[in-house]
A and B are shown apart, each in its own frame.
Chain A
Amino acid sequence: MRIDENICLSKKLNGAISIRALKRFAAEHDTGAWKKFSRKLPPTGNKIAIVGSGPAGLTAAYYLTKLGHTVTVFEASGKTGGMMRWGIPDYRLPKDILDKEIKEIVDAGVDIQTDKRITSLDSLFEQGYKAIFLAVGAQRGLKLGVEGENSPAVIDGVSFLRNVKTGAKTISGKSVAVVGGGNVAIDVALTALRLGAREVNTVCIEHNPEEMPAFTDEVKQAKDEGVKIDMGWGVKRILHGEGKVKGLELTRCVSVFDDFGKFKPCYAQNETKTLDADIVIVAIGQMPDIPDTFSTKTNANHALQIDTKTLAASREGVWAGGDAVTGPASVIEAIAAGRKAAVSIDKYLGGKGKIDEKLTRARRIIMPETESYPEGAARVAVSLLPVAQRAGNFNETELGFEESSALTESERCLHCGEGITSRCRYACPAGINVPLYINLIKRGKYEDALAIIREKVPIPGVLGRVCSAPCEEACTGCAMCVPFCPMNAINANGEMKKEVKIDFDECADCGVCFRAKICPVNAIVDEVYQWPRSVRSAFSNPLVLHKETRVPGRGTEEVKTNEVTGQFKKGYVGVTAELGRPGVGARFRDVEKVAQALARAHVIFAANNPVTHMMTDKTTGKINDEILNEKVCSAMIETTSPIENLPNIIKELQEVAGQLDTVFSLTISSRLDEDGTAPCLKILKELDVSLYLNGKTNLGLGRPLFREESK
């Protein structure tokens, strides 16, 4: 199989669509038109308490209020918004945007009580609340656990950002060391610069921006603004002198992950250096801080334990979601949790859990009759505040799209599968119909685009600035063929995700991607190859008839026509090993190993079997060297043998199984005795070979019967 790169749509997409920026653009065109479609159900009389006013809590509150419940949000701090307010700097999310969208939620009827720290859920139940949603976030900064950490000049990243918001932190003229490679660390570093720090050095154990958990564009922004990032170093201890912090002793981080991809940093203890600093800010993550008085179960990470389907916590009438459950995650994931909790709580209170409403009549993607994609047009850059204008203030850095930019960017969208099967369509955790709102922007219907977003999230303007945009990750330029490949040989992870390629060596030429007719521009080409590659399609494509056997597929008629052919006679047993099945694929070098093992057990290879035809020596099972590296979806070695030989065969197969880089499905075929029993079953039981509860039964309706039967 091959993809014609001149036709493939993916090549026409030069980088993912700026979906987040388009979301912001739609939010900036809010005329309130969506409100005329918005409905609130009559009061149910049910009181619901929500603990925490972050994205999860506010989302659940909004939808539950619209379903007619009386919802009160309890916020421990003096202002609403949770981590959106305290953890995201104003230059990324201006306060007025957050305030405006929270006001919409309050206007919907949500009661928010600030400076109300909840310490007992029992007390809420006693006050008549019938359901409680815990959305308390993950507020406690993690510690490094190194010498010298317990000093007032060492602070965690989240506390630092919170203090800045309350005006309680001044670091002008000081040298700041930030520890961590995530988004919070970058936010801390950029905030420190804006507060007038003399210099900001960020150290992290990761070795390159791609390895860092922080978004690549934010790392770039930090560098642009003058943050020095020292990668590949871990903190050995925090240095003190004269009662003050003096800096960090660092040790070289050799690797961040172990061989299994698990986070397990490894350090070269003898390679160290020091970094001077007046203030150290540790931003290596946060964890939930759940009061014991909640009497809810938590896990080893101090996060609330829940039923992942319903978000129900360990106590009756209590649900939990957002960072309090997942640890630090994205705003969109918290919103998705808020939506899920709203559905579960409404059902618990006797409702149907239907939180979605249609806020516009625009439901369909409309494509021009003749679509012309701006081939190769690069992703439109979002305007940024010049670096020189960022120092000393918290003015918004990202300026969003002008109308012309938004239109150009939306025109780049390929609307893969006309939006129905676009990968971005189902990437959003909250379920936003991404291709539809992009299509509406493209058609100049900005209000409708916003309505589509608002159907799933109550804070679109916030998301347009801080969404982690998993939909952009999914935007690979069609790539609709990728999941269809049973051999996982179609790759959409090329540079800039703009190329979809078939790995020629891993492709088994089964033809699924071609026959599925999934490519919207017919770029998939069903090539005919010469020997030895030709064996791939012969074995993998079930529509290809084997020249020798005239049977489509991969084997003989075996038990299917046994009453006519007598392939498995009384006193004999059939043993078939199908290499590569199910769904792994096999190279002929593995097929040969199994064939040789079977040959050692003195089986008779089926004459009309395609694998047998590939053998150069049917007594040893040797396969033609020319095809040993060829890969097929599966290849079937079919044999017969006197039944008393079955133990030898099983022994050889058990030995060779451990030497393979693939799997094989094993079939035992048997003529049944007059009483309907299969003589091989007793032997297999003695050999401890278990059989599946289902299988194939030849009804014996074929004629003429094999002569053994005629007698």
Chain B
Amino acid sequence: MTHTLHRRGTRESLNRDYVMLCIAAKGINEDGADEKMQEFLRTVIKYGAVNFGDMRTGNSFCCNPEEIIGKVTSTSIVHGVFTDRATVAKVMRSLKKADLGMSVVVSGPFASVEEACKEAGIVPHSRDFSAGIWGKIDRLARPELLECTTMCGHAMISANLVEDIVKRIKAGVINARQGSLEIGRVCCCGIYNPERAERILRKLAS
């Protein structure tokens, strides 16, 4: 599945949005995968991931790190979110050195990810390209809202919720940070980027 693909936004905004995930290939290298994915999670936390989680357990807004790490199984997919290329390169280097043997995927602007790979001495293997949205596109939420909603690839963030949060920010009931965290609760797998969302919400509410 492609839950970390199809994130929408401007180049500037997407340059602050990287998702790293770690997964085992079922039936091939899943034996002992739980411990390796736990190591992946410890690594992304160590490097200051702004969000992390396991699709099966939850994200860093609703669960503490120990709970997320403790509940990892061999069928988990674990994630960490970063906001700058340089840190992504450091995490890549660390994971390469750790040689976990698990598949690691990075979502982000190709140009930036490619640079990070070079810095880490990694030769990328495969890519998923987003070829856009087809069909009845007049049913889509407006583009500014999609920047927030597409940060959850499972469609757990509704456009109405983003609009609701923006209204509350405009009314001064909550600030953009609080709004971002409230939205982040519903994206269970931990690929939502709260810092990027905060910027988007601030812009929408201004």
List A residues at the B interface (Cβ < 8 Å): 309, 420-421, 425-426, 428, 431, 482-488, 510, 512, 515-516, 540, 542-543, 545, 549-565, 568, 574, 576-578, 580-585, 633-634, 636, 653-654, 657-658, 660-672, 676, 678, 680-681, 684, 689-704
Contact = CB atoms under 8 A, between A and B. Distances in A.
Nearest to B102: A702
B25 A516 contact: no
A298 B31 CA distance: 71
A554 B55 CA distance: 12
B155 A563 contact: no
Contacts of A555: 1-2
A560 B21 contact: yes
B124 A699 contact: yes
A667 B133 contact: no
B77 interface: yes
Contact of B135 (A487, A552, A662): A662
A564 B29 contact: yes
A483 B160 contact: yes
B102 A696 contact: no
Given A512-B186, A561-B23, A700-B125, A425 B136 contact: no
Interface residues of B, number: 85
Contacts of B70: none
Given A487-B158, A551-B26, A564-B25, 16 more contacts: A426-B171, A543-B188, A550-B75, A553-B55, A559-B128, A636-B1, A660-B135, A662-B139, A668-B131, A669-B128, A672-B125, A692-B8, A696-B2, A697-B110, A698-B104, A704-B28
Contact of A485 (B101, B160, B206): B160
B76 to A, nearest CB: 8
A483 B163 contact: yes
A583 B141 contact: yes
A261 B203 CA distance: 29
A510 B155 contact: yes
A672 B124 contact: yes
Nearest to B137: A663
26 contacts: A483-B158, A483-B161, A485-B158, A486-B155, A510-B154, A515-B186, A542-B189, A543-B188, A553-B154, A558-B128, A576-B2, A578-B2, A582-B150, A583-B158, A661-B136, A665-B133, A665-B134, A669-B127, A669-B129, A670-B127, A670-B129, A672-B126, A691-B132, A692-B131, A699-B96, A699-B122
Contacts of B128: 558-559, 574, 667-669, 695-696
Nearest to B18: A694
B14 interface: yes
A486 B160 CA distance: 8
A653 B132 CA distance: 12
B80 interface: no
B127 A698 contact: yes
B28 A565 contact: yes
A672 to B, nearest CB: 6
A697 B75 contact: no
Given A560-B103, A582-B149, A678 B133 contact: no
A292 B190 CA distance: 58
Contact of B123 (A425, A557, A665, A700): A700
Contacts of B4: 696
A482 B163 CA distance: 12
Nearest to A610: B1
B167 interface: yes
Given A483-B164, A561-B25, A695 B155 contact: no
B181 interface: no
B44 interface: no
B130 A584 contact: no
Contacts of A561: 23-25, 28, 103
B140 A666 contact: no
Contacts of B140: 582-584, 663
A681 B128 CA distance: 11
Given A580-B155, A701-B104, A563 B126 contact: yes
A332 B21 CA distance: 50
A187 to B, nearest CB: 30
B106 A309 contact: no
Contact of A694 (B109, B123, B155, B163): B109
Contacts of A657: 134-135
Nearest to A658: B135
Contacts of B106: 696-697, 699
B29 A702 contact: yes
Most A CB contacts (10 A, CB to CB) among B95, B102, B126, B128 go to B126
B43 to A, nearest CB: 12
Interface in B1-58: 1-8, 11, 14, 17, 21, 23-26, 28-29, 55-56
B131 A557 contact: no
B136 A660 contact: yes
B146 interface: yes
B124 A698 contact: yes
Contacts of A636: 1-2
Contacts of B2: 555, 558, 576, 578, 636, 665, 667, 696
A551 B1 contact: yes
- Most chain B CB within 10 A, of A692, A694, A697, is at A694
A557 B26 contact: yes
Contact of B126 (A669, A681, A691, A694): A669
Contacts of A666: 130-134
Contacts of B14: 693-694
B204 interface: no
B168 interface: yes
B111 to A, nearest CB: 8
Nearest to A564: B25
Contacts of B172: 431
Given A657-B134, A663-B136, A696-B4, A420 B173 contact: yes
Contacts of A634: 154-155
Contacts of B155: 486, 510, 540, 580-583, 585, 633-634
A613 to B, nearest CB: 14
Contacts of A553: 1, 3, 55, 77, 154
B72 interface: no
Contact of A700 (B122, B139, B146, B159): B122
A134 B93 CA distance: 61
A218 to B, nearest CB: 27
Nearest to B1: A555
B144 interface: no
Given A663-B135, A702-B29, A421 B168 contact: yes
B87 interface: no
B157 interface: yes
Contacts of A700: 122-126
Given A542-B188, A691-B130, A695-B130, A554 B125 contact: no
A543 B55 contact: yes
Given A552-B75, A557-B25, A664 B134 contact: yes
B107 interface: yes
Contact of A695 (B5, B29, B117): B5
Contact of B75 (A545, A680, A691): A545
B102 A701 contact: yes
A483 B167 CA distance: 12
A695 B127 contact: yes
A557 B150 CA distance: 20
